[in-house]
Amino acid sequence: MMTHCFSRLRRFRFNLPQRIAAGLLAVFLAQGLWISGHQTLTDRDYQYARCGREMWERPSRLDGYFTSCGNIYDGVLAYRLAGLPLTLNLLAERGLDHFRKPEDRVVQQAGGRLSAPNLSTWELRHQLRYTLLLLRLPFLAAGLLLGGGLWWVTRRLYGNLGGYTALALYCFSPAMLKACVAPTPEVLAALGVYGGIYTSIGVAHAMQGPRRKWRPRIVLLTVIFGVAAAAHIAALAVVALFGLALMLWVAEGRKSQALLVVLAAAAGALAVVFACYGFSPEAFSYVFRSAAGFLWFSFDPAQRFFSTLSNAGVTVAVAAALMLYAARRRSRYLGNTAPLLCALLLMLLVMTGAPGAPWLWALPFLLTFVAGVFADAYEGPRGRLAMGAAGAIVLLQAAFCVLSLPGLL
């Protein structure tokens, strides 16, 4: 097993395509850090900092509730990730206090030392450095991971140019940047839904081969379903249903087994959510006693997204891709149709029982569809013209995104 892992590492090459993708993701990170540098701590930050730390450090809480925020039902994973860097930072500061003068110690009080769990991050916001940035780093990391996954999928399906198109539009998406520079479960749910659906397709393809290749992919599917479920319980229903539908589409001769795989992954995902609640049955059961999983349909999210000026490049790209998809028969195949259907359905969903933005979950699928149709056009008789038009669209989106950054105008 160890030899196999090392052989896979040796096969990895950081060549020009990987460098270009890394450069685009670095631009995305730079924009996120720039926005974070122009933000101030808010009441929402305070809530995530306080309750996220409570989940890790177990201070005294309100009787009958999981945290002092109550029984969390709108994305426990976001609270966990927001609190983890703060807890680790405070523990590191307490360790460094042993080497500081008493008057310079970060964690202190008159008459003795105060333990970390009983000390509010909000009270320490002027003493602990980089509190605002630490709150946002896990969500920026999730955004980078989602961008990397988008590039990997689109490059594998449509080649280098298709991957660059999707990733460039993603890295200059104000909506995605906004989701990554605040404690929010939306980018985590988008990562879980996008990764879960394409991993489901990968499992369906693997089911055509030997059984020894099934297990690692099913384990990965379970982990990704767990991310989706812990981000938003409604995301588990979405990714399980969409993933099952696409597995049934792809897994010829294995359709009965596809249902068992999705059920097993969903059960494992619920176990991940249970673990995120510290194996507390009461807190875990509240997720199902709330209305967090309720969904409905509305055209409003799509109208708002496509009518926003900062999304002009993406809007033009989607309109052009839809026209090419309708006009060119060669573009209407599974690789393009699957992300289009997922994007359309997610754009219409709204969460009625808890805060949520399924339209944001749709964005990676929308960009995958655009990349696939544009990649077909690149290979057509007017490929150079198509590349020039796509480049202009990307530049348009980049310009609107950069102009929307705070402190530039």
- 300's enclosing H/E stretch is helix 300-307
C-beta of residue 125 within 8 angstroms of C-beta of residue 131: yes
Q: Of how many residues is the chain composed? A: 409
Contacts of 155 (CB under 8 A, 6+ apart): 17, 21, 162, 163
Cα 298 to chain centroid, rounded:
23
Backbone angles phi, psi at 124, to 5 degrees: -100, 10
The SS3 call for residue 12 is coil
pLDDT (tens digit, 0 to 9) for every residue of the chain, 409 residues total?
444 544 454 566 788 999 999 999 999 999 999 999 999 888 888 889 888 888 888 755 656 677 878 778 878 999 999 999 988 888 887 777 777 777 666 665 544 444 444 555 545 555 555 788 999 999 999 999 999 999 999 999 999 999 999 999 999 999 999 999 999 999 999 999 999 999 999 999 888 877 777 888 999 999 999 999 999 999 999 999 999 999 999 887 777 889 999 999 999 999 999 999 988 888 888 888 888 888 999 999 999 999 999 999 999 999 999 999 999 888 999 999 999 999 999 999 999 888 889 999 999 999 999 999 999 999 988 889 999 999 999 999 999 999 999 987 6
Residue 297, Cβ density class (10 Å: 0-12 exposed, 13-18 middle, ≥19 buried): exposed
The SS3 call for residue 101 is coil
Please report, as a single letter, which amino acid is at residue 330: R
Return the half-sphere exposure (C-beta side, CA atoms, 13 A cut-off) of residue 87.
19
pLDDT score for 11: 61
Residue-averaged pLDDT of the chain: 87
Is the sign of the CA dihedral 214, 334, 24, 80 positive or negative? negative
pLDDT score for 191: 97
DSSP class per residue in 333-347: SHHHHHHHHHHHHHH
Distance CA 33, CA 198 (A): 29
The angle that helices 214-231 and 186-206 make with each other, rounded to 10 degrees, is 160
pLDDT score for 395: 97
As given in the structure block, the two tokens for residue 245 are 């539908």
Residue spans of the domains in the chain: they are: 43-133
Residue 99, Cβ density class (10 Å: 0-12 exposed, 13-18 middle, ≥19 buried): exposed
C-beta of residue 180 within 8 angstroms of C-beta of residue 140: yes
pLDDT score for 406: 92
Distance CA 108, CA 161 (A): 56
Distance CA 385, CA 389 (A): 6
pLDDT score for 104: 66
Return the residue matching tokens 């990895």.
12
Helix, strand, coil percentages in the chain from 3-state DSSP, rounded to 5: 75, 0, 25
Distance CA 10, CA 358 (A): 39
Distance CA 297, CA 353 (A): 13
pLDDT score for 8: 53
The angle that helices 358-378 and 186-206 make with each other, rounded to 10 degrees, is 50
